[in-house]
Amino acid sequence: MLAMPTTGFQAMGPGGPSLFVPTQQPGIPTLETITYQHIHETSSKRISTLDYLRKAHEGRVYWFNTLLFNKPDLQRMPSFDPRKLARRATNYLLLGLSLPTALELNGVNAVEYLKTWNALFTEFEAFQQTHPDGSTLSRGRFPQMFKRATVTASKGRRSSAASEIGLPMGNDHSDSKSTNGSVSAGSSNQVTLFPTSENDLLPGEEYTHLLTPSLPFDPDFYETFATLCDVLIDCYTRLMELVSSPRECNPVVAEMFTKADARVRKLIIQGVVKEFEESSRSGVKSEVAGVGKVVLGGLM
């Protein structure tokens, strides 16, 4: 006679025991595990989206398998007015310069990293609202120096966001003014010197993390946007490295990540996606109308 298993219970049928139902229940994931999975899955999605947007601007992919936008096509978009592009390129450049410096200096753990991320994007949004005409081209808060910064994860793709984004790199200087206006000691790090501007930011307008140097020229929008995408990809990659296990996750990290990711979607991704969607719809309609004329022309 076979021995019955000791785990579970037997369901009684009309003819006696007929079904064995196990009592062991699958483990319920903890809040930390759920937060960890959410951060990694969302970060991976943002990295893919940013990479896709960069390739779309470079004319390397068909927008959702419909149309291929090359540079002349992009320039015909209503939102790609030269004056608007210059303003957007300036804003993107300032954000791209600020992200590596601020996050690398405050990237000891996920909490400080996300706290700085949110603070920087809050300042960036306030700057855009204060200077809607891109007036930072002629005025700057930093007539001093900007230290060259490199995101840790960017070594394989772009060695330096500051150099790749289009600003000239200066030589080492033994006595240079720091970002708060004081004189700093000599440093072996390579620095960037910006032209001095007599006009500063508006009275009372100060930023802790956002760099706002005077720019001697309008940056190229396409190169600037591609580099900004690289910098943001590196930011999400670095965040996943800091959140390496559920132990680093807690409700504070979850809340700050949600806010930081929402700001990236609002200030960078949503506007670009909307532009491509509108242009792709009108482009597809034109293509279908053209095909219809060819087909009907041959039948009539």
pLDDT at 125: 93
Residues whose CB is less than 8 angstroms from the CB of residue 250 and which lie 6 or more positions away in sequence, other chains included? 32, 35
- Condensed to tens digits (0 to 9), the pLDDT of residues 6-31 reads 455 454 555 555 555 555 556 788 99
Q: How many CA atoms lie within 13 A of 256 on its CB side?
A: 19
- Strand runs (DSSP E) across the chain, as ranges? 9-13, 16-21, 62-63, 67-68, 145-147, 176-177, 183-184, 191-193
- The torsion of the CA quartet 59, 63, 69, 75, rounded to 10 degrees, works out to -110
Phi, psi of 296 (to 5 degrees): -65, -35
Cβ contacts of 284 within 8 Å, gap of 6 or more: 66, 67
Domain residue extents for the chain:
31-141+209-286
- What pLDDT sits at residue 78? 79
Neighbours of 125 (CB within 10 A): 14
* 99-155 pLDDT tens trace: 999 998 888 899 999 999 999 999 999 998 887 765 544 443 333 333 333 333 333
Residues of the chain with pLDDT under 50: 1-2, 4, 6, 9, 11, 136-199
DSSP string for residues in 141-177: S-SSEEE----GGGGGT-S-HHHHTTPPP----SSEE
Report the Cα–Cα distance between both ends of the chain, in Å, rounded.
Answer: 87
Q: Residue 146: its pLDDT value, please?
A: 33
- Supply the pLDDT for residue 12: 52
Output the pLDDT for position 182: 35
Nearest to 54 by CA among 278, 221, 211: 221
Residue 23, pLDDT score: 53
Write out the two tokens for 167: 């600003």
Tell me the whole-structure pTM to 2 decimals.
0.70
Pairwise CA distance, residues 31 & 13, whole Å: 40
d(CA 241, CA 153): 9
Provide φ and ψ at 60, rounded to 5°.
Answer: -105, -10
Q: Distance between CA atoms of 54 and 31, rounded to whole angstroms?
A: 34
- Residue 69 has a pLDDT of 87
